[in-house]
Amino acid sequence: MRVYLVAGELSGDILGAGLMQALRRRHGDIEFRGIGGPRMQAQGLESLYPLETLSVMGLVEVLKHLPGLIKVRRHLKRDALGWRPDVMIGIDAPDFNLGLERQLRAQGIKTVHYVSPSVWAWRQGRVKGIARSVDAMLTFLPFEADFYAEHRVPVAYVGHPLADELPLVNDRAAARRELGLDPGTPTLAVLPGSRGNEIRFQGEIFLHAAAALRERLGGLQVAIPAASPQRRQELEALVERFPQLARDTLIVEGRSREVMTAADAVLLTSGTAALETMLCHRAMVVAYRMAPASHWLARRLVKTRWISLPNLIAQESLVPELIQDAVTVENIVDTLLPWFEDERARSALEQRFAALHAELQRGASERAATAVASLVEHGVLDPETGKV
C-alpha cells in the first residue's frame, strides 16, 4: 500500500504520525511519501520538503510566498503521479491541499482530506469545490460531518484527537497542588490568547474583570498560562499594573491544561482553548473582541449561531459568549459569578462536558485509518453504509 501525505504545520505532523501508526497496524507492507515533520518521518515518511514549507500565515505573507507555493504544488503533483499512490491524504492546510487533491483526483488517485476547514461557518459555497477535490472528508466534530452529509460529500466523523489525549476523569485539587495554588480559594483561569496582539487587545479588560470579580467574591486567585517566554514577559508586565491582583496571580509557561483543570471557571477568547476547557470539564465564559472592520466583515460572512466550539458541538448555549461591544467588565463579571456562586449549576455543566468529552473520545487515528483503508480497498468509506 502506498500513501501520499501532505501536512503543513506541527499539528498536522502530530495527526499524520498517529494516522501512519494506525495504518501500519493494518498494512505491514506500506510506504509513505509527501511532506511531513519529524514525527511523520519517524514513522517512515519520505518527506520531499521541510514541514515549514506550507506554514505561511497572513495575507501579505501568503502573497509573498505564492510563487514558491505554486512551484511546490506542481512538483508534488508530478511526483505523486509518477509514484502512483493508492491514496493521497491532505492534512489540514486546505488552501494548499484541496487544490492538489483536486488535481490528483482528476488523474484517478483517491483523495482524502483530514481536518475540515470551517466551511460550515463561512463561505459555504466552498463545499462544491471540496466535493470535486475529495473522495472522503475526515472530520473531528459531529456537526461538521452533518454539514458534509447534507451536501452529499462522503464523510467520516472520527472524533477529536484532543479528546483522546485528555482523561475522562480529572482532579481539581491535585492540579492546584501541582501548581502551588491554595486549595480552598476560588480560582479563575485567564486565557487572553496566545498571540501578542490578543494579549494587548483583551488582556487588560480580562484583568480588570478579574479584579472586579475578586471584590465581589471577597477573594480570588488567578492563574494564567503563557504560550511562550515572550508571552510570559508580556503578561507579567500587564499584571504589574494590577497591584490588587499581583500577589494572588500565578503565571506559568505552558501547562494550560493543568491551569484549566485547577480552576473553578475559565475566562478565555474563542478557539481551541474553549474546546480544551470543555475537555477539562470546566465552566467558562468566552469573550472575544476584534478590530471594528474585522467584526463588521465577520458579521456578514459568518453563518453560525455560536462562535465557541462547546456550543457548536452541543448545538445549544451551554457557554456564555460575549462578542465585541458586549465585552465589558460588568458583563464578564455578571456571567462569571454564577459559576462561583452556584455550585450545583457548575457541577451540572461539568457533567455535561464530561459526557460530550466521552462522545468525542473515539480513537481518532484508528477511525481515520479505518476510513482510509476502506476507501482504498472498497472504493467507499464503508462497504455497507458508506460511513464510518
Higher-scoring residue by pLDDT: 60, 25 = 25
Q: Which amino acid is at 282?
A: R
Q: What fold is seen in the domain 172-360?
A: Rossmann fold (3.40.50)
Q: 329 near 208, Cβ under 8 Å? A: yes
pTM score: 0.81
Distance (Å) of CA 284 to CA 60, 176, 348: 35, 18, 13
Domain 2-159+362-378: CATH superfamily is: Glycogen Phosphorylase B; (3.40.50.2000)
Query: What is the residue whose three cell numbers read 487544490?
Result: 99
The highest-confidence range among 116-130, 229-243, 374-388, by mean pLDDT, is 229-243
Please report the pLDDT score of residue 55 as a whole number: 66
Categorize the per-residue pLDDT at 254 as very low, low, confident or very high, splitting at 50, 70 and 90: confident
**185 pLDDT above the threshold of 80:** yes
What gap in Å lies between CA 200 and CA 237, rounded to an integer?
11
pLDDT score at 120? 67
Q: Quote the pLDDT of residue 240.
A: 92
pLDDT tens digits for 88-97? Answer: 999 988 889 9
Determine the pLDDT at residue 58.
41
Q: How crowded is residue 148: how many other Cβ atoms within 10 Å of its Cβ?
A: 23
- Residue given cell 490568547 in the structure block: 193
Please give the residue that has the higher pLDDT: either 94 or 272: 94
Please report the pLDDT score of residue 65 as a whole number. Answer: 64
Query: What pLDDT, on the 0 to 100 scale, is given for residue 299?
Result: 63
Q: Is residue 164 packed enough to be buried (19+ CB in 10 Å), middle (13-18) or exposed (0-12)?
A: middle
Grid cell in block for residue 106: 482528476
Q: What is the pLDDT of residues 102-136, one digit of tens each?
A: 999 999 999 999 999 877 666 677 889 999 999 99
Q: What is the pLDDT of residue 368?
A: 95
Sketch the domain layout of the chain as residue ranges.
2-159+362-378, 172-360
